[in-house]
Amino acid sequence: MIYKIVKYGDPILEKLCEPVTQFDTPDLKQLVTDMFETMYAHKGVGLAAPQVGLPMRLTVIDCSAGEDETQRVVLINPEITALEGSQIGEEGCLSIPGFRENVKRAAKATVQAHDVAGAAFELTGEELLARAIQHETDHLNGILFLTHLSLLKRDIIRRKIRKLVKAGEWS
Ligand code: NI
């Protein structure tokens, strides 16, 4: 099932999400399958549960955008445990379509998380994967990439989105 993606302006995107407590259930497995399907349908490399309307600490990432199954990552209740270095690169968000900006992130990120079965694991990513880990973990804390932009850039984007909302082109 492909979910409708929640757009910027919906308060769910700026809420602290709740930890997942039930693992290895058919519902959780289905949700992960559907989130990958939704992310691929929108050509994204990451998608967090609040973006499909569910305030849960769960996110899926695939930096190959569906080209390479081995790059699929499911992070449940993720906690970033180490950040190193820095990188500046263009970032977008499926909840803020049409807007891409340079965002400064750590170059390397280590995260501890649980998989669908509930097993704990640790993952270290660099470059795009590091960026995705940071962007998606931010989502679970109600933080959007706009927060990492200058006030001026953020205001310009907010104003443009307000116009799109008025024109009925943002839903
Ligand atoms: Ni996003």
Ligand 1 centroid distance, CA of 137 (Å): 9
Residue with tokens 């959780």: 28
**Active site annotation includes 136:** yes
CA dist., res. 122 & res. 79, Å (int): 10
118, 126 in Cβ contact below 8 A? no
Ligand 1 centroid distance, CA of 26 (Å): 26
Q: Say which of 126, 127, 136, 169 is annotated catalytic.
A: 136
Structural domain including 154 reads 11-166
Q: What is the pLDDT of residue 171?
A: 85
Using DSSP, state whether 17 is helix, strand or coil. coil
6 domain residue, yes or no = no
CA dist., res. 3 & res. 52, Å (int): 6
Ligand 1 centroid distance, CA of 96 (Å): 8
CATH number at residue 154: 3.90.45.10
pTM score above 0.85: yes
Residue 52 phi/psi, 5-degree rounding, is: -110, 20
Residue 143 phi/psi, 5-degree rounding, is: -110, 130
pLDDT tens for the 171 residues of the chain, in order: 999 999 999 999 999 999 999 999 999 999 999 999 999 999 999 999 999 999 999 999 999 999 999 999 999 999 999 999 999 999 999 999 999 999 999 999 999 999 999 999 999 999 999 999 999 999 999 999 999 999 999 999 999 999 999 999 998
3 domain residue, yes or no = no
Ligand 1 centroid distance, CA of 104 (Å): 15
Structural domain count of the chain: 1
Residues whose Cβ atom is located within 5 A of ion ligand 1: 93
Q: Using CA of residue 86, residue 112, residue 121, residue 30, what is the dihedral sign?
A: negative
4 domain residue, yes or no = no
